[in-house]
Structure 1
Amino acid sequence: MGDAPLKVLVVDDEPLATERLQLLLARVDGVDLVGTAADGEAAVRMAEALQPDLLLLDVAMPGLDGIDVARALTGRRPAPAVVFVTAFDQFAVAAFEVEAVDYLMKPVDSSRLERALSRARQHIQTRSATEAGPVQPVSRYLDEFWATDLSGLVRIAARDIDRISAERDYMRLHVGTRSWLIHHSMSALEDGLDPALFVRLHRSAIVRRDFITGFQRNPSGRWIARLADGGEQPVGRLYAENVRAIAGR
């Protein structure tokens, strides 16, 4: 992209929300607002015609919603980067499935918007450099998650997760001393995470392989995994074979 302005298309069915984004964008250098759309169908048409670098895209819209718009544009090359702007946080899982660059909660704060624009620029520059080089195979495994945070939504890289524990219909992602809940199933996470990095040790627990420091047996003969933070994770009987595979025996 070089020093070219970031071409932005704003999509929102609420006129006041669109106006607020226009005012915020007008204060940011290096941004060119190429248009606005009030529904998903118009957004797809305008994106095809105007070829924006970035969509600031509302999620909840009548008809074609923001997730549908993002999916419709993924086949275009280059596809525009997407930053979702919404009043709802329950779309976070769908957001990372369509590879959104960021996820902003309404009302949008100016400094938070600028961070999202910076992430979009970095994403586009990285993608351009990658496309200019040899074609890299695309991993089928999940490499990031979106989770609710006090400030809105936070992106969590899969490689940073120490372990995952089940809590009813939610999964808790543990990263150091912090943790976040996401609405997902344990079986879907087991299938979606790279088995070279993660292993399931219990029906309610997945652990990053290099977070395991050792194994020991309890008095009843069950395996217990020792973890890098000093904690322990019981190994379910159905997953004892995974212990033997890790230990090479």
Structure 2
Amino acid sequence: MTALKVLIADDEPLAADRLVALLDPLENLDIVGIAEDGDQAVALAAEHQPDLVLLDISMPGMDGIEVARHLARAEPRPAVIFVTAYDQFAVAAFEVAAVDYLMKPVDRNRLIAAIERAREALDHREPGEGKAADSLFLTEFWASDMSGLVRIAAADIDRISAERDYMRLHVGDRSWLIHHSMASLEQGLDPAMFVRLHRSAILRRDFIDGFSRNASGRWIAQLGDGSEQPVGRLYAEHVREMTGR
């Protein structure tokens, strides 16, 4: 059996040490690096091309969900197992196709089972499944509601608004919260379909009916549901790009 190259990413040294201690007795595993934050995780992944990443979610700078989105563009794409003290990120982990989601303190048997799942996923990975192409855009989201999980197609989203550490997806008269950053959504969504017009707002282009100016000369987007969205000064150039003015 070929040894799995494993990268650990956790900003808590004790948690990283515990994972190392759990992995050391296991056969056919090679720990190629330990990252202390999200940016370092991306850099080490590019350097070592791990097969498996054990990834914390709550880290300084780039969080684990954003790191997983970067890794999804790698070739070959590594398997990801989230290891976290928080259970509220499970839906976001599902969206980025994580192999498993382990709660701290990590149980040895659960970790072994998760690694076996990762091996199976890697064995069935198709050539070219992961790629670094900029054309790899988000096509769907999974959000929680009263009945469980609901799939939301990106093409159905009218607008996205920021609410602290969460983003609200608006589809008609309904909305759902997901755990993402505005920056990662702006990067991940197809720019031919979506445009960012404010630091806390992304809109589907064909949901915008027009633009007007207020008394101070600021652009205001007129939306398909009759509401309005002020355009941030930093994003006025997007209006000019859309309208040619």
| TM-score, normalization by structure 2 | 0.55
1:75 corresponds to which residue? 73
- CA spacing shift, 1:92–1:105, aligned 2, 3 Å: same
Change (3 A) 1:102 1:30: same
Q: Please tell me whether residue 18 in structure 1 is matched to residue 16 in structure 2.
A: yes
Instruction: Output aligned runs, 1:72-151, within 5 Å.
Output: 72-128=70-126
1:64 corresponding residue in structure 2? 62
Tell me the CA shift for residue 48 of structure 1.
0.2
From the superposition, tell whether residues 191 and 98 of structure 1 become closer, same or farther in structure 2 (CA, over 3 Å): closer
Structure 2: distance between partners of 1:76 and 1:51: 8
- How does 1:215-230 map onto structure 2 within 5 Å? none
Q: Which runs of 4+ in 1 moved over 6 A?
A: none
Alignment deviations for residues 186-215 of structure 1 (CA, whole Å, 9 cap, x no partner): xxx3758xxxxxxxxxx9xxxxxxxxxxxx
Deviation at 1:170, TM superposition (A): 2.5
Distance 2:65 2:108 in 1: 24
**In the TM superposition, what whole-angstrom CA distance separates every residue of 1:53-92 from its partner, at most 9, and x where no partner exists?**
0100000011111001111121111111110000001111
Does the CA-based 8 Å contact 2:140-2:152 persist in structure 1?
no
Residues 42, 130 of structure 1: alpha-carbon distance in 2 compared, 3 angstrom cutoff: closer
After the TM superposition, which of the residue ranges 35-44 and 70-79 deviates more from structure 2? 70-79
Find the structure with the greater CA-based Rg: 1
Gaps in structure 2 of 5+ consecutive residues: 130-138, 155-173, 175-245
Q: Which residue of 2 aligns with 1:171?
A: 146
Question: What are the equivalent positions in structure 2 for 1:173-188 lying under 5 Å apart?
Answer: 173=148, 182=149
Give me the whole-angstrom Cα distance separating, in 2, the residues matched to 1:100 and 1:171: 23
Q: CA deviation at 1:4?
A: 1.0
1:27 counterpart = 2:2: no
Change (3 A) 1:53 1:190: closer
Output the TM-score relative to the length of structure 1.
Answer: 0.54
Structure-1 residue corresponding to 2:159: none
CA contact (8 A) 2:75 2:128 kept: no
Q: How many residues align?
A: 148
CA distance in 1, matches of 2:80, 2:64: 10
Offset at residue 16 of structure 1 (A):
0.4
Residues 150-181 of structure 1, C-alpha deviations (whole Å, 9 max, x = no match): xxxxxxxxxxxxxxxxxxx82324xxxxxxxx
CA distance, structure 1, for counterparts of residue 122 and residue 140 of structure 2:
21
Residue type at the aligned position of 1:109: D
SS at match of 2:62: coil
Q: Distance in 1 between matches of 2:152 and 2:41?
A: 35
- Separation in 1 of the partners of 2:90 and 2:62? 18
Q: Aligned equivalents of 1:54 and 1:107: distance in 2?
A: 19
Amino acid at match of 1:170: D
2:6, 2:33 within 8 Å by CA — same for their partners in 1?
A: yes
What stretches of structure 1 of length at least 5 have no aligned partner? 132-139, 147-168, 174-181, 193-202, 204-249
The one-letter amino acid of 2:92's match is A
% identical aligned pairs: 53
